[in-house]
């Protein structure tokens, strides 16, 4: 074939995203693609490319610059991005997700360079189904937000797009959901953030947030449009200021869940089950104070109620183990204000006229074994609070879960020092390990990425018609059993994040089994598989960035085979195959 031109084949649309310009392409592939001469001559291995990426990353001095480089890498070579991410998941997750994604969202309008995902505006209603036709791929899963409660950072309008983009990257990295099967979706329904509305660089509608009734009308149209376009789509809601109406309205009619309420509940229960075991205190003797009674706090407590019930408590006994504090103090039935509906279930009626004075006084009164933070108030677990918990308990359970790190109720170091290294700890954002009394202590991270990828993949593979409470709970239980012997021996609450692909298989299997038990699965042939067979089935369906060649396909394999007189199948053993496999 001529050196620099495509053989007798039709012109081909080149795509940077799928690696058409990748330096690992062999000369044959470059000729086939028509990129011969358009890339530097060297044919590089993945290791070399990865080394360059990591060096480039190290040259960036701030987390936001590193974030921007990773956005660029994903846009220019998606498979390389997922290889680098997969091999450095522990180091890179804080850059593509919390905490850095928080800063990226705050500054989204300043740092935006290229489109990712879809935006649907209030003014688009009536046409949502048509607009979805503009999306170029088939979709397995979407993460959608209205930007109204981005981490603990408040209403950021369409700047919130960073969250669906980041979460979907984790669906791919952790559970192998194909990148082109994911749709980040940001609803542009106005924003209550006046500063953003007035910022000349803001990229959303400059109108106040629509009413709850209008949002419901919009979501009704959107849910119908999404499932009409992609009948098996899994729809994950994220970072809504008030997520409860949508969960209630759609959970039985669509394959949907809300990760802040249900995923957070599951991931915290997953670590909590191990914390309860490690505390040495029987389940019946635990008592919990929650600082923050929002969607995440109540979501976590509801899943813990399920766990307590499975451990033999009645629902009433389980419910009464919780004391919630919100911005108006202890959540009680006789407080004098109208409680938001989601708080009523846990509102206390045994306050005996006592007024809430402070978190410290409440700890003295309740004597809790567990202190959870989902309040968005950074530093709320002061030295005094932590020392009180340490005085009351041999192994106090302290979970400061607010994100990003600046909103965490305390740091790992503060918790360790003020409980003399005895706390059972998990946070929302990552903290470094530290030495205490000659021992290296590693903080747990109650990171939803342990469960949502498996919930999503389980729903996709089982073709579930809805995501049931049992599926969510199964993800928590599966997570709690996924620690290996060493992790258990070291007293960890969560498995090593570097094993996330293995963990996601266990979680996915649990979710599929629960879907089968509930009869919501449509892939009924999977019911016959043993657990080992189901694990293999799941693994086979996971996207593997090391084995990507669909961009080239059989056409080039055939061509290479003919040109080289060899069997040029991409998984073969010659130099050509290495190039194809590393597209």
Ligand X SMILES: NC(=O)C1=CN([C@@H]2O[C@H](COP(=O)(O)OP(=O)(O)OC[C@H]3O[C@@H](n4cnc5c(N)ncnc54)[C@H](OP(=O)(O)O)[C@@H]3O)[C@@H](O)[C@H]2O)C=CC1
How far, CA to CA in Å, does 52 sit from each of 49, 56, 80, 81, 352?
5, 6, 11, 12, 65
- Could you say whether residue 325 binds ligand X (CB under 6 A)? yes
Look at the block and give the residue holding tokens 């407590």.
Answer: 301
Stretch that binds Mg ion, among 237-245, 285-293, 308-316, 413-421 (CB under 5 A): 237-245
Region 217-256 residues binding ligand X, contact defined as CB under 6 A: none
Q: Which of residues 433-492 bind ligand X (CB under 6 A)?
A: 446, 448
State the Cα–Cα distance between residues 434 and 375, nearest whole angstrom: 25
Task: Phi first, then psi: give them for residue 108, nearest 5 degrees.
Answer: -55, -45
Total residues contacting ligand X by CB under 6 A comes to 28
**Helices in 209-330 by DSSP H: which ranges?**
212-229, 244-250, 264-279, 295-310, 315-319
403 is in an annotated binding site: yes
Q: Interface with ligand X includes 375 (CB under 6 A)?
A: yes
As a whole number of Å, the end-to-end CA separation of the chain is 21
Catalytic residue among 66, 74, 167, 209: 167
Minimum separation from the CB atom of position 354 to ligand X (A): 17
- Part in contact with ligand X (CB under 6 A); list of ranges 25-33, 66-74, 104-112, 149-157: 149-157
Which single residue brings its beta carbon nearest to ligand PYR? 403
In the bound state with ligand PYR, the residue whose beta carbon lies nearer, of 163 and 515, is: 163
| DSSP state letter for 374 | -
Name which of 362 and 459 has its Cβ closer to ligand PYR: 459
Q: How far is the CB of 298 from Mg ion (least distance, A)?
A: 14
> 286 or 342, CB closer to ligand X?
342
Contact predicate 320/336, CB 8 Å: no
- Tokens at 170, concatenated: 């984790």
Task: Read off the tokens for 565.
Answer: 């007189």
Write down the residue that tokens 């850059």 correspond to: 95
Residue 297 CB, nearest approach to ligand X (Å): 5
Show the tokens assigned to 43. Answer: 């044919």
Q: Is 264 in the site for ligand X (CB under 6 A)?
A: yes
DSSP-based three-state secondary structure for 291 = strand
Sign (positive or negative) of CA dihedral 482, 263, 380, 350: negative
Beta carbon of residue 102, minimum distance to ligand X (angstroms, whole number): 8
Closest CA to 582 of 33, 46, 26, 81: 46
Residue 450 falls in the annotated catalytic set: no
Looking at the DSSP bridge assignments, the partners of residue 119 are: 186
Q: Which residue matches tokens 């509940």?
A: 265
Nearer to ligand PYR, 245 or 491 (CB): 245
User: Pick from 140, 146, 155, 239: which binds ligand PYR (CB under 6 A)?
Assistant: 239
Count other Cβ atoms within 10 Å, centred on residue 197: 17
Q: What are phi and psi of 371, to 5 degrees?
A: -130, 115
* Residue 407 lies near ligand X (rule: CB under 6 A): yes
Q: Judge contact between 547 and 571, C-beta under 8 A.
A: yes
Q: How many CB atoms lie within 10 A of CB 573?
A: 10
Site string for ligand X, 81-120 (x = CB under 6 A): ----------------------------------------
In the complex, minimum distance from the CB of residue 254 to ligand X, in angstroms, rounded to a whole number: 21
Tell me the C-alpha distance between 436 and 417, whole Å.
8
Closest CA to 499 of 82, 87, 70, 95: 87
Binding to ligand X in span 508-567, by CB under 6 A: none
Interacting residues with ligand PYR between 446 and 475 (CB under 6 A):
448
Q: Binding of ligand PYR at residue 260 (CB under 6 A)? A: yes
Q: With respect to ligand PYR, which residue has the nearer C-beta, 49 or 403?
A: 403
Quick one: which of 151, 222, 451, 506 contacts ligand PYR (CB under 6 A)? 151
238 labeled binding residue: yes
Q: Which helix (H) or strand (E) holds 329?
A: strand 329-330
For 315, counting Cβ atoms within 10 Å of its Cβ (0-12 exposed, 13-18 middle, 19+ buried), the class is: exposed
Q: Is 295 in the site for ligand X (CB under 6 A)?
A: yes
Taking a C-beta distance cutoff of 8 angstroms, is the pair 277, 226 a contact?
Answer: no
Nearer CB in complex with ligand PYR: 388/407: 407
Choice between 18 and 159, CB closer to ligand X: 159
Query: Residue 316 CB, nearest distance to ligand PYR (Å)?
Result: 30
- Answer for the pair 11, 37: CB distance below 8 angstroms, yes or no: no
- DSSP assignment letter at 107: T
152 lines the binding site for ligand X (CB under 6 A): yes
**Distance from chain centroid for Cα 290:** 23
Among 20, 28, 155, 260, binds Mg ion (CB under 5 A): 260
> Given candidates 193, 403, 405, 504, which one binds ligand PYR under the rule CB under 6 A?
403
**Residue 377 or residue 465: which is nearer to ligand PYR going by CB?**
377
Closest CA to 167 of 505, 447, 442: 447
Annotated catalytic residue 97:
yes
Closest CB to ligand PYR among residues 263, 396: 263
- CA dist 583 and 576 (Å) reads 11
Stretch that binds ligand X, among 1-9, 22-30, 280-288, 295-303 (CB under 6 A): 295-303
* Residue 239 binds Mg ion, judged by CB under 5 A: yes
Q: What SS3 class is residue 582?
A: strand
How many angstroms separate the CA atoms of 440 and 460, rounded? 40
Q: Is 260 annotated as a binding residue?
A: yes
The pair of three-digit structure tokens given for residue 130, joined into one six-digit string:
């048509």
Interaction of residue 393 with ligand X, rule CB under 6 A: no
Binding site for ligand X (CB under 6 A): 149, 151-152, 260, 264, 267, 291-297, 325-328, 374-377, 401-403, 407, 428, 446, 448
Binding residues for (S)-malate: 149, 403, 447
Query: Residues annotated in the binding site for a divalent metal cation, as ranges?
Result: 238-239, 260
Binding-site entries: 149, 238-239, 260, 403, 447
What are the catalytic residues?
97, 167
- Residue ranges in contact with ligand PYR by CB under 6 A: 98, 151, 239, 259-260, 403, 428, 448
């Amino acid at each position: 074939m001529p050196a620099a031109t495509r053989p007798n084949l039709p012109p081909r649309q080149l795509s940077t995203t799928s690696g058409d310009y990748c330096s690992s392409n062999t000369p044959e592939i470059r000729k086939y693609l028509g990129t011969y001469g358009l890339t530097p001559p060297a044919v590089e291995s993945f290791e070399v490319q990865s080394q360059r990426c990591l060096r480039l990353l190290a040259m960036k001095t701030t987390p936001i610059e590193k974030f921007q480089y990773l956005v660029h890498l994903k846009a220019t070579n998606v498979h390389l991005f997922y290889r680098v991410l997969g091999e450095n998941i522990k180091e890179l997750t804080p850059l593509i997700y919390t905490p850095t994604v928080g800063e990226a969202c705050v500054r989204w309008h300043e740092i935006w360079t290229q489109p990712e995902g879809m935006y649907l505006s209030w003014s688009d209603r009536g046409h949502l189904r048509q607009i979805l036709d503009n999306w170029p791929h088939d979709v397995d899963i979407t993460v959608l937000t209205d930007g109204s409660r981005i981490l603990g950072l408040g209403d950021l309008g369409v700047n919130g797009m960073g969250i669906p983009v980041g979460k979907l990257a984790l669906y791919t990295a952790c559970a192998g959901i194909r990148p082109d099967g994911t749709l980040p979706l940001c609803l542009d329904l106005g924003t209550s953030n006046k500063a953003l509305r007035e910022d000349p660089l803001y990229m959303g509608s400059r109108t106040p947030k629509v009413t709850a009734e209008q949002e419901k009308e919009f979501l009704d149209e959107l849910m119908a449009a999404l499932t009409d376009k992609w009948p098996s789509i899994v729809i994950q809601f994220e970072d809504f200021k008030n997520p409860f109406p949508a969960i209630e309205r759609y959970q039985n009619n669509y394959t949907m869940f809300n990760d802040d309420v249900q995923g957070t509940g599951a991931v915290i229960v997953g670590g909590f089950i191990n914390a309860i075991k490690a505390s040495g205190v029987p389940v019946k003797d635990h008592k919990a104070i929650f600082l923050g009674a929002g969607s995440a706090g109540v979501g976590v407590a509801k899943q813990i109620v399920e766990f307590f019930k499975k451990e033999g408590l009645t629902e009433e006994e389980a419910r009464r183990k919780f004391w919630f504090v919100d911005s108006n103090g202890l959540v009680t039935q006789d407080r004098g204000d109208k409680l938001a509906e989601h708080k009523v279930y846990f509102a206390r009626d045994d306050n005996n006229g006592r007024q809430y004075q402070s978190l410290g006084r409440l700890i003295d009164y309740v004597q809790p074994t567990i202190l959870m933070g989902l309040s968005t108030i950074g530093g709320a677990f002061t030295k005094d609070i932590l020392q009180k918990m340490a005085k009351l308990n041999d192994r106090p359970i302290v979970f400061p879960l607010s994100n990003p790190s600046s909103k965490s109720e305390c740091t790992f170091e503060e918790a360790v020092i003020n409980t003399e290294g005895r706390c059972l700890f998990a946070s929302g954002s990552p903290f470094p390990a530290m030495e205490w009394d000659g021992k290296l202590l590693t903080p747990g991270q109650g990171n939803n990425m342990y469960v949502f990828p498996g919930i999503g993949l389980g729903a996709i593979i089982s073709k579930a018609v809805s995501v049931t409470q049992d599926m969510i709970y199964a993800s928590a239980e599966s997570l709690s059993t996924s620690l290996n012997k060493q992790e258990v021996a070291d007293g960890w609450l969560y498995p090593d994040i570097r094993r996330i692909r293995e963990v996601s298989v266990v979680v996915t299997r649990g979710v599929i089994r629960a879907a089968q038990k509930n009869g919501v699965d449509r892939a009924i042939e999977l019911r016959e598989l043993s657990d080992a067979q189901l694990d293999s089935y799941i693994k086979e369906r996971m996207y593997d960035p090391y084995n990507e060649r669909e961009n080239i396909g059989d056409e080039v394999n055939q061509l290479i085979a003919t040109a080289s007189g060899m069997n040029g199948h991409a998984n073969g053993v010659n130099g050509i195959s290495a190039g194809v496999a590393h597209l």
